[in-house]
Amino acid sequence: EIVLTQSPAIVSLSPGDSATLSCRASQTITSDLAWYQQKPGQAPRLLIYEASNRATGIPARFSGSGSGTDFTLTISSLEPEDFAVYYCQQSSNWPPLLTFGGGTKVEIK
């Protein structure tokens, strides 16, 4: 079973700052890695799929990168609405079993 470890658990930043969120897999995975944003009281929202592709309607300040075991979500200049919890997710090849990371909370400094 692949385990996804996200770091840091919490990061305190100011609007306008850049955020770099890490997701590390316990073994090499394909680029089938997604990132989601979740705000309080809301369902998660897909941001990035296949490690680096933005989902429909996602602003360009969100970018994903990485391969193998190390993946990164970067938010280039934090807007007030970006303060939220972010999760990474991967799927094993076959059978397609999903795993989520534990999440990173981006809070206002």
Partner 1 sequence: QVQLQESGPGLVKPSETLSLTCNVSGVSISSYYWSWIRQPLGKGLEWIGHIYYSGSTNYNPSLKSRVTISVDTSNNQFSLRLRSVTAADTAIYYCARYRGVLGADYWGQGTLVTVSS
Closest to partner 1 by CB, 72 or 99:
99
Smallest distance, Å, CB 15 to partner 1?
Answer: 25
b/e code 86-108 from CB counts within 10 Å (16+ = b): bbbbbbeeeeeeebebebbbbee
Closest to partner 1 by CB, 50 or 77:
50
Smallest distance, Å, CB 14 to partner 1?
Answer: 25
Closest to partner 1 by CB, 19 or 35:
35
Cα–Cα distance for residue pair 89/101, rounded to 1 Å: 6
Q: Are 82 and 71 in contact (CB under 8 A)?
A: no
Closest to partner 1 by CB, 71 or 87:
87
Q: Are 5 and 104 in contact (CB under 8 A)?
A: no
Q: Return residues touching partner 1 (CB under 8 A).
A: 1, 31-32, 34, 36, 38, 42-46, 48-50, 55-56, 87, 89, 91, 95-103
Q: Are 50 and 67 in contact (CB under 8 A)?
A: no
Smallest distance, Å, CB 98 to partner 1?
Answer: 4
